[in-house]
Structure 1
Amino acid sequence: MKFGIYPGGRAGTTSSRPEDPAAIRDLVDRLAGDRPFVIREYVHFLGEPARPEFAASLGADRGLDHLTLPDEWYADAGRELDLVVSHLPATADLPGWLAFLDAVLDRYGHLARCLQVTLEPNFPIPLIDGSTPGVLDALVHGIPHAKAAAATRGLRTRIGFSVAEPAEWLGGDDAFWAHLGSVPHNDFAAQVDYVGLGLYPDAFSPVAPRGTPGDVASLTAHALRHLREHSLPRAHIGPDTPIHVAENGTPSGTPRDGQAQRESLTDMIGTVLDLRDKLNITQYELFGLRDADSGSPEPPGSLGLVTDTYEPKPAFAAYRDIVRASDA
């Protein structure tokens, strides 16, 4: 199984300070050692007319100019780019979206080993794609469009999408899976190379104590099994299509601390490793490297392995040791 991380210091609209490229390079090298390592990045389709203030609030104003680090870094030392194309227009614009996918492949296709079409389209909360008009069409038409566009360009980029699971955390997403199930297999499911899972079992609600039913390990296992055994079959996506844990995070902010974050992280990854063969899980990516704002009382502020000034927390060494011990 391959491991990876989002190297930036932003979670949604939260970012306390600019990124430090030298610190990122050093910390990623310390995590990966000499092993292949996946780097997760995000670009955003915001539609027309342009909304510069909204783009700036998401750090999306740089558009397709550059990612967190220069292009050559993503292709060096065994690194592999996993690029998310998020769908956040104010109004539905399928032609504009498909043209944006083409532009992304023209700009980053030579680097991207995976291209994720939409970000959690089953999750209808602000700043996540599931809340945007036209997102189901963007997903259903975007996957085959990106697959064909990559092939036309001679790219070996794998095309997939991600969801937030399980359904009960969201208040139910039956309509989303029913819609995918209504699409003929060859028009959608057959075009999907992988399905990603956004997994934050203890970030936004309390969980049971460690080692008891309802703890972070059992919630992680439930989410993975629910996706593989319940949701994906509804969309005609079979067991041969790999699952990627595309985002996984746990905070260290009050009332928790760095040690609690380390314990949650090791429990979640241990569960993923236990289930990887049975559920065909082939990739794991952590969100993220750096805190968005270590002083924030909100969970997204403290999901990083290091503080917002790049000081390692206990979870950094724990993840490094897991990566170094992997058989990837």
Structure 2
Amino acid sequence: MHPFTFGIYPGSALGAEDGLLIGLPDIPERIQEALNDLQPDGKSFRVRAYIDRDNVQGSTPQHFEQYIAPNRKLDLVLCYRAIDEPFELWTDFIRRTIQQYGPNLATLQITEEANSTGPGGDGITPNVRAALVAGVLAAKTEIQRLGLPIGVGFSATISFNPADDFWTELGQLGGQSFVNALDYVALDFFPDVFVPLQPNVQLSDAVRAVLHQFRHVNMLQAGIPATVPMHIGENGWPTSPTRPYTRQAEVLETIIRTVYEQRETYNIACYELFDLRDANSSNPDIFYQFGLLRDDYSPKPAYGVFKELVAELSV
């Protein structure tokens, strides 16, 4: 049976149009309660966390290692925002991170959305593509040296632009050694959030179209074969005064079931939801309301739906 693992980002900080958005302070005990509740007995589950080398103290969620538990490890994202500095500082940081957190890592993501200059994307950094390749190679070498079972990959957003050179340049920069070092590539996508669906388009059809484009067009342009698994690194649907809680639950169920149904077709091994809790439930801006929980940790309908899907579909 094709392996399929779930995870979630439990922090309150996120990238928004005006930069990093910091929500209300986390309550670790409530986060731990929710993670314990969402993770089925005996099944693997992942906690997504982010670190920036230039601001390690600003990791989100803070002190993320406290959320590690039996069968629950980290999907740790190393963001890259450095400009005009030697890559040795970047690769040294990657090696130190592996040495520090290695036994608690399920996966290590090198850069965050290196092809995106939008909210939260590392594509704003001029040399990020070369940093991505150098980082993946350095991470794989260190993981193999230590004999650790950690998957190495990177994330990207979907591109339908034939003039976009991100994927072809990535393949040229990295070559076969880069492709051989990859254990997965993560897709971050938010259908019907930043670009509303057209009235005649079904959500499930839109999801299938994105998965097809990412696997059979984007990844292939970099020479990444179908044997390298895809992950869903970030996916969610925020609420607001015009985006009802019930619709959030419906959208997430449709997306997750569609991804799961397509897992064999596109070699998808993991789905991680963004995110656990609203940054601020009283703020009508959608960036503040991506959570399955309100900012007081009370559940929206989508929380129960996600919990049931994780229990049903975890393989």
Matched, 1:129 2:122: yes
Contact between 1:21 and 1:69, CA under 8 Å: does it hold in 2?
Answer: no
Q: What is the deviation of 1:92?
A: 4.5
Matched, 1:107 2:115: no
Superposition pairs for residues 127-166 of structure 1, below 5 Å? Answer: 127-165=120-158
Contact between 1:88 and 1:127, CA under 8 Å: does it hold in 2?
Answer: no
Give TM-score, length-normalised by structure 1.
0.88
Q: What is the deviation of 1:207?
A: 1.5
Matched, 1:258 2:245: yes
Residues 69/97 of structure 1: CA separation in 2 closer, same or farther (3 Å cut) = closer
The DSSP-based 3-state class of the residue aligned with 2:97 is helix
Name the Cα RMSD after superposition. 1.9
User: Could you tell me which amino acid in structure 1 is paired with residue 9 of structure 2?
Assistant: Y
Equivalent residue for 2:88, pick from 88, 91, 95: 95
Equivalent residue for 1:316, pick from 298, 303, 312: 303
User: Could you tell me which amino acid in structure 2 is paired with residue 276 of structure 1?
Assistant: R
Partner of 1:186: 176
Matched, 1:29 2:36: yes
Q: Provide the rounded CA distance (Å) in 2 between the counterparts of 1:244 and 1:261.
A: 21
Contact between 2:23 and 2:279, CA under 8 Å: does it hold in 1?
Answer: yes
Contact between 1:246 and 1:284, CA under 8 Å: does it hold in 2?
Answer: yes
Partner of 2:264: 277
Contact between 1:87 and 1:135, CA under 8 Å: does it hold in 2?
Answer: yes
Partner of 1:61: 57
1:279-320, CA deviations, whole angstroms, 9 ceiling, x for partnerless residues?
Answer: 100100000101112223332211110011111001000000
Partner of 2:7: 4
Matched, 1:242 2:229: yes
Contact between 2:230 and 2:270, CA under 8 Å: does it hold in 1?
Answer: yes
Task: Name stretches of at least 5 consecutive residues in structure 1 with no aligned partner.
Answer: 47-54
Matched, 1:39 2:55: no
Q: What is the deviation of 1:200?
A: 0.6
Q: Provide the rounded CA distance (Å) in 2 between the counterparts of 1:126 and 1:218.
A: 25
Q: Provide the rounded CA distance (Å) in 1 between the counterparts of 2:190 and 2:149.
A: 30
Residues 92/263 of structure 1: CA separation in 2 closer, same or farther (3 Å cut) = farther
1:154-174, CA deviations, whole angstroms, 9 ceiling, x for partnerless residues?
Answer: 222111001011x14xx6672
Equivalent residue for 1:205, pick from 195, 211, 219: 195
Q: Provide the rounded CA distance (Å) in 1 between the counterparts of 2:39 and 2:220.
A: 34
The DSSP-based 3-state class of the residue aligned with 2:231 is strand
The DSSP-based 3-state class of the residue aligned with 2:141 is helix
Contact between 2:130 and 2:173, CA under 8 Å: does it hold in 1?
Answer: no
Of all paired residues, the percent bearing the same amino acid is 33
Q: What is the deviation of 1:255?
A: 1.2
Task: Name stretches of at least 5 consecutive residues in structure 2 with no aligned partner.
Answer: none
Contact between 1:92 and 1:133, CA under 8 Å: does it hold in 2?
Answer: no
1:18-37, CA deviations, whole angstroms, 9 ceiling, x for partnerless residues?
Answer: 10111111111111131211
Runs (4+) of structure 1 exceeding 4 A deviation are: none
Contact between 1:249 and 1:286, CA under 8 Å: does it hold in 2?
Answer: yes
Q: Provide the rounded CA distance (Å) in 2 between the counterparts of 1:88 and 1:173.
A: 25
User: Could you tell me which amino acid in structure 2 is paired with residue 119 of structure 1?
Assistant: E
Give TM-score, length-normalised by structure 2.
0.91
The DSSP-based 3-state class of the residue aligned with 2:33 is helix
Q: Provide the rounded CA distance (Å) in 2 between the counterparts of 1:258 and 1:37.
A: 25
Q: What is the deviation of 1:62?
A: 4.3
